[in-house]
Amino acid sequence: MKYTHLIPVVLAVALLSACATQQSKTATTEKAPPPVKTAPVKESAKETPKAEVAPPGVIVGKPDAGSKFSKLKIGMTLNQVEKLIGHPTKQWTHPTAKVSIPFYFGPDRWVIQYSYKGEGVLTFNSGGEQFLTKIEVNKNE
């Protein structure tokens, strides 16, 4: 019973020495893989432009030709929209489900909605630049 406190120390030393010998065995027996030959890259392949990715968004309904909403595109900023079609009839903000995620500070925690009488509702993300993310055409609005 005198040496019972040494049992965990002996086990730890045995495990560490086993790990050290295992690593040294694998280090000496492994060979480096042969170098892989690659084809040279053509200059024209480097210069190809990347395809533009459309911003995520939704358009509900189809705006009439010549209406205010027919001039809008998903991804426009709030200032661009106001300059193009004017100020809304009503506006409000509300949180999304992401507001309850701890340590999440993305731009989609809150949304801003603009209502235009006879046109519908526009939804913008809130935070940083406010981008148009949803166009809802509703003539009864």
Parse the chain into domains and list their residue ranges: 58-137
Task: Find where tokens 């010549």 sit.
Answer: 66
**Given this model, what pLDDT does residue 99 score?**
80
Answer yes or no: is pLDDT of 12 > 80: no
Give the number of residues written for the chain: 141
Average pLDDT across the chain, whole number: 75
Helices (H) and strands (E) in the chain, counts: 3, 5
Give the pLDDT confidence of 35-63 residue by residue, as tens digits: 666 666 555 545 555 544 445 778 788 88
